[in-house]
Each structure stands twice: as C-alpha cells, then as structure tokens.
Amino acid sequence: MRALVFRLLGPLLGLIAFAGLRYIGDAPAAMAGTVLWMAVWWISECVPIPVTALLPLVLFPLLGIQDLSATAAHYGRDIIFLFIGGFLLALGVERSGLHNRFALWTVSRIGASPPRLVLGTLLASGALSMWINSTAAVLVMLPIALSLLRTTGSELGLGAVLALAVSYGATIGGMATPVGTPPNLVMMAMWKQEFPAEPTLGFGQWMLFGVPYAFLFLGITWLLLTRVLFRLPDAAAIERHALRAQLKDLGPPSRDERLAGLVFACTALLWMTGDDIVFSEAFALHGWRGWLGLQRMGDPAVGMLGGLVLFLLPSKGEKRALLDWDFAQQRIPWGVVLLIGSGFAIAGGIDASGLSTTLGKALVGWRTGSDVLQVGAIATGVTLLSELGSNTAVASLVLPILARTAEAWGMAPLMVMIPATIAASCGFMLPIASPMQAIVFASGHLSVKQMAKAGVWMDVVGVVLLMTLWTLLGGMVFGT
C-alpha cells in the first residue's frame, strides 16, 4: 500500500509543480516537475531505483525537453566506462581471492586488543573501498569481521562496533578516490559536461584532497567508536597468532592472485600519475599523458584496459581467464550504471530546458556570510538528503543545480560541487542511507538506535572536517 501511494504521489507532485511553475515557461516547468517526480520515487524507493533512472528516456521527449537521441547519449558517457573498468578490476581481485588475503593481512598486522581490531577493520575496509566499489568492500569485509567476532566471543560486545567499522570504513575510504564510490564519478563527469572549457579533474588531483580527508576521518571514527560511543575492554580479545593462522590457512599467494594484483596495481598507478598536478606556477608534477602525447587516453580508457587484460590472462589450472564474462556480467551493478546515466540526463535536461537560469536567479539570495559557512550549509543539507535516499541519486540531483547557482553566489563551482559530492556519501544515521549501512544492519548485530546514535556524531564530524580541510586544502588542490 505504501509503495502504491508513493508511485501515485510522484507523478502527481510533478504535475502540480508543472502547473504551478508554468509562468517560467513550459520546458523549465516540465523539467522541475520531472526532477520532483524522480526525487519522490528515489527517496521512497517505491519502484527500483534503476527503473526511476529510466524516466528521462520517456519524459524528456514526451515533454519537449530533449529528443531521445540527446537524452540517451547521457547514459553512455565516458565516465560510466571508468566505473565499469574499476568494477572489472575489483571482480578480478575477487575472483582470485586476493581481497580476502589483503583484509586478513591488514587486521592481523594491526591488532589483538578490541580497539586494535576495530582499527584494523576500519583501515582494511577503507583501503579496499578506495579501489573497489564501497558496497563490494562491505561484502568482502563483513564475513571477516564476523569471523573475528566468533573468535573473540560475543561477551565483549564487539558485534555492533565491528559492524559499524566495516560500514564506516568502506564509506569513508570510497571518498578518497574517484572510483571508490559512484557520486565521485558523477561529479567528475558532471564537471566535464557542465564546464567543458575548464581543465578536467585528474585522478591524482582528487586524491590530494580525498586521501587526507579519508585518513583523518578514519582516525576520528576510530576514536569515536572505541573511546566515546562504545566502551571496549583493553584486554586482548584474540591472539595475534590466531589471526595469522587464518591467513596461513589460505596458503601462499596463488599465481592468479599475483597476476590480478599486478594488473590492479599497474592500473591504479596509471590512474594516479596520468595528469599534471600543478602546485604553483613554479612547481608542477607532469603526468605520463603529457610525456607520451596520449592526452586522449583518459582514465576511463585506462580502467577499461586493465579490465580487458584480466579477460586475456589465463587462470592457472582452469580453462578460463582470470576474469570471464559470465562471472562479470552477473556482478556488475548495471542498475548503478543506469543511475549514473540518469544524473547526466538530469543535468542535460536542466540546461536544455532553461531551468538552470531560473534556478540561478531564484537562489542568488541564498548566501551565507562567508564561503566557509556556505560550504558548511551545503554539506549539511546534502548530508541530510543522503540519509533519505541513494547517495548517487542525491549527487545526481544536486550537482547540476549547484553548478549553476555557484556562479550566482560569486563562488567557483568547484568550491561547492566537491564538498557536496563528498557530503553525499556522509549519510551514516539510517539503514536506508546507503547499501553499506543496510548490509551491516542486516547482519543482526546492530539496532537502529545504535546506528542512529553513532550516525549523528559521524554526520557532524563529516561536515565539520569537510569545512576545515576544504578551507586548508581546497584552494591549493583545486584552485578555488
């Protein structure tokens, strides 16, 4: 019944918005109604999120916003292939089993006491999520964390803490790199689409801000989980040799693990070193694209190259490659691919309909006293939105609007778009805030009350840290 109500409410509110805004023009009013309709369906999830993502293909031609060919082109943008390439690399690592070895190695190296176990879980989950999809990182780490819990014994009360450490680590680690989480990819593509004359955002450039932010956030998260929100005993809960025994049971790294790890490492290195990083007029680090004259070999092409290599290298002892298509096609989140494409379609529709101009004029007066406070206000608003719906959907909705309103506020677009992108991943309070939260909640070791109590702290820390670090590093890294 609830789903039916929201299914009807979405188009009804869209129609009301169209009727009420026709004074600004039919096309802008139709676009506003479409965005409202999609927002209601995305937030309520009354239909599958990827299904909502397909609405522009029908509504834009029907309402005269854009023709079908222009709308469909948004679903095939190059950044989508960066996402697919990154996921293929992650699947290659998963197929080889290297991800389990890495996670166990990290935890075994860091700790025996409960606080150290939490730290190891945070770091392992965060490091995995930097390079593979955050949801996949949680699926890898949660069984490992629960196995640690079974070894330690439930009397120590570690279940909720380790479950949160898995989710928080994956969420925060995904902020550090462009391929860590879909909102980052949406931002990079949105920037290229909205500001084609501006320099593209580089992989290494993103990491110069994202890695310090994620590292500091993980450290504060560890303190919150082990010193403020939960009281853990300092006595050793598990002997270090027990963790190493689990690692030893895996045996030596197989040929497949070594090959998958090599392809993964080479691709990551190419991603990080491809673009020039300009620190000042007198000092810059030049990337391999400039040296080799391969400017057209962008990050999506590099990601696809790494993914294709995995399909070509044979697996030892099996009549297949390191990665085969049957395995890949079942695990690539095609729904997320459609969702990212719909974000670009919304951005294109807002521009094509003229709604961007109307929004810019309407929001010009919404300006706080300083740039820092404006960044904080935007980050807070986006974080609250992300508690109610998909972080990718939130990024797809707000980034096109911010791209235009920033100019009306007299601010560089990157100054509001980057913080908004990171804030879109900062919903920590509710199970519905992200797939990572939902997965660890479903483990049965967490209550909604525990998640909400910890999530409030995490949301506040995320916004405050974002404001602080953006003030210190944002201008230097992104030239804002």
425-477 pLDDT per residue, tens: 888 887 767 777 877 876 777 777 888 889 999 999 999 999 999 888 877 77
CA 232 to CA 223: how far, in whole Å?
11
- Is the pLDDT at 155 greater than 50? The verdict is no
Angle at 444 between CA 441 and CA 448, to 5 degrees: 50
295 neighbors 304 (Cβ within 8 angstroms): no
55 neighbors 340 (Cβ within 8 angstroms): no
pLDDT for the residue 153: 47
The per-residue pLDDT for range 379-405, each reduced to its tens digit, is: 998 888 777 666 777 787 788 888 878
Continuous H helices in 97-133: 98-110, 114-131
Q: Tokens at residue 347, please?
A: 């951005």
Hey, which residues does 314 pair with through a beta bridge? Answer: 321
The per-residue pLDDT for range 341-394, each reduced to its tens digit, is: 887 788 788 778 888 777 666 666 666 667 888 888 889 988 887 776 667 777
Classified as helix, coil or strand, 278 is strand
Instruction: Find how far residue 285's CA is from the centre of its chain.
Output: 27
Report field, pTM of the whole predicted structure over 0.75:
no
